[in-house]
Structure 1
Amino acid sequence: MNRLIFKIIAVIGLLYAQVGCAQTAPRPDFDLENDLLLAHFDCKTDVDDVHSVAATATLLRHPDFREVRYHAVAGAYGVQEGLYVPAEELFEAAFGTHWSDAHADFGKALLEVYAVVSGTLSRGGDIWIPEAGQSDFSAALVRQVRQRNPQIDTRSRIHIVQHSDWNERVTSPESLAYVREHTDYRKIPDGNAEGNGTPGFRKDQAIAWREQLSDPELVALWESAQAIANRYNGASGRYLNKSIAAGGLDFSDVSETCWIFGLEGLEDAKAFFARLAQ
């Protein structure tokens, strides 16, 4: 009996060790030569995504990240109620031709993004998706990849980074379950708070970002983002972002992109501009 108990304990210990290893699996690195940053923005109904678009463009124009291959998706929302925040001109200014509009035409956007993603995967690159919103568009995309390319292991080649409990709650349950099962799904601490291991990019107070930015195009981009956010913040029943209403900034979703590029040590919005504005 003692020998049997010993064997049972040993098996339990082995299983526990295996689970622990799975939970602390090594974090893969973004390969600048081959990988793709696929930035998703829901833009519904919080205007924080508008600031996040400008912040993402700021990061991508920094010399350390100018070689990053990227594509953006507007309207990557889930099942939440409320009105969309239109910001097409901002996406064009931020990403040029490297973005798709899932709000205007979900099917067309899915085809466009699949073409970019499949090209990256076929060349041996991975896909990194910071979810500034929900996972419904991501789930549709992963289904396309798995159906058309069953030889690709999406659990190791497609990395989804999420920071928000609310975003998960307003993702359709089927979509959330699907991406958790079929991708390298990473949940990181919320980017709305500071001191939790990821940057806290939501500030009620105004930040002197103009003094930090040396690129006039980025200055214009941030001015446009603030104008759009102020126009739609709380309008027609949309969510009222109190930080933005107070004159501050909220690009909390960019905590995910910073995590992808190893910048999770940035404390707050001031540190973001100090590190990436030049």
Structure 2
Amino acid sequence: MCLKTIISLFLFTCTTNTIAQDKSNIAAKFQLDKDLLLVHYDCKTDVDDLHSAAAFVTMLSKPKYLDLNYFAVGGTYGMQNGLYVPPNSLFDLAFGKRWVDAHNAYDKALKTVTLLSVKALSLNGNIWIAEGGQSDFTFDIIKTLRKAIPNLDTKRIHVIQHSDWNEEVTTPEKLDFIKSAATYHKIPDGNSTQNGTPGFRSEEVFPWAKNIKDKHLAKVWELAIQLGNQYNGLENRYLNKAIEKGGLDFSDFAEVCWILGLEKLEDTKAYFEFIAEKD
């Protein structure tokens, strides 16, 4: 059964079909009760995606975000050269069944994310994409949704990008299309502080374990750091200087903070203090 048929059947069973929506109703910020958050990780060739995934899943332990509707995708890279950083063992531990591998099973990943997007859109939710890499996979999501749902208002898809380099190694015509078709948000770089968004890249060794009391989350961080050290600069992969010095880099998580209104978390220290707070 083709994807369009599956989507058509799904829409037929919905009590309300709000796929086509007036632009005036497009939410300016993420709505926890109905929106879908897609977290994309290119994992090529920087290992910062590993730390970013750990930071994201740790935030999900906060009571406010326990029911957050999210899905993760690994392997959303663009034109850049270099070897892939396989995140599978970490993503399995962190996300369980709520992630898909676009590196090894691209068509399956696209189909899975498309169906999840249709479901959220049909229930009057919008799609928010934290682009922890390039936008080539996002291009295919929008194209697939447009083909399956001709009346879709694609401005309901918000794409958040923080990196000039990520834009530079996205296929140019695909990036141009996304900027036109979706609601595109370019935010200040998550590698730096004091620019309006959090800066989560630090060369200082940080005692993160003091703030992570949950044993499962501690294992997630341990594995993220282990894999980061293992693949950092390996076989001409990008050498992340902060991680090489024993620091942390979860700079791609700055986009999630922007989406959820957590810009006050200025740096690594503020993030872990937030995690340790009693709600």
Aligned partner of residue 63 in structure 2, secondary structure: coil
Q: Answer whether contact 2:102 2:110 (CA < 8 A) is retained.
A: yes
Tell me what 1:5 maps to.
none
Q: Which amino acid aligns with 1:254?
A: F
Kindly indicate whether the alpha-carbon contact (under 8 Å) linking 1:131 and 1:256 is maintained by their aligned counterparts in 2. yes
Aligned to 1:204: 203
Q: What is the letter of the counterpart of residue 91 of structure 1?
A: F
Larger Rg: 1
Alignment RMSD? 1.1
Identify the residue that residue 93 of structure 2 maps to in structure 1: 93
Q: Is the 8 A contact 1:48 1:252 kept in 2?
A: yes
> Is contact 1:76–1:133 with CA below 8 Å preserved after alignment?
yes
Structure 1 partner of 2:72: 72
Matches within 5 A, 1:12-23: none
1:239 is paired with a residue of what secondary structure?
Answer: coil
CA contact (8 A) 1:58 1:277 kept: no
Q: Name the amino acid aligned to 1:131.
A: E
**Residue in 2 aligned with 1:234?**
233
Give the aligned partner of residue 265 of structure 1.
264
Structure-2 separation of matches of 1:213 and 1:59: 11
Unpaired stretches in structure 2, ≥5 consecutive residues: 1-25
SS at match of 2:64: coil
Query: Which ranges in structure 1 are unaligned for 5 or more consecutive residues?
Result: 1-25
Q: Hey, what's the Cα distance between the residues in 1 that align with 2:151 and 2:122?
A: 11
Instruction: Tell me the residue number matched to 2:141.
Output: 141
For residues 42 and 193 of structure 2, what CA distance do their matches in structure 1 show? 23
> How far apart are the structure 2 equivalents of 1:182 and 1:149?
14
- Which aligned pairs between 1:98-247 and structure 2 lie closer than 5 A? 98-155=98-155, 157-247=156-246
The structural deviation recorded for 1:150 is 1.8
Q: Please state how far the C-alpha of 1:105 moved relative to its aligned partner.
A: 1.4
Number of equivalences: 252
Conservation of the 8 A alpha-carbon contact between 2:46 and 2:238? yes
Q: Give the AA of the match of 1:66.
A: L
Give how far 1:106 is off.
1.0
Aligned positions of 1:25-40 closer than 5 A: 28-40=28-40
> TM-score scaled by structure 2?
0.89
Shift of residue 276, structure 1, vs aligned partner? 2.1
| 1:226-245 alpha-carbon deviations (Å, 9 max, x no partner) | 00000000000100000000
**TM-score of the aligned structures, taking structure 1 as reference length:** 0.89
Equivalent-residue separation in structure 1 for 2:27 and 2:69 (angstroms): 20
Report SS of the residue matched to 1:64: helix
Identity among equivalent positions (%) equals 51
Q: Is the 8 A contact 1:258 1:264 kept in 2?
A: yes
Q: Check whether the contact 2:73–2:102 (CA below 8 A) recurs between aligned residues.
A: yes
Distance 1:149 1:169 in 2: 30
Q: Distance in 2 between matches of 1:36 and 1:27?
A: 12
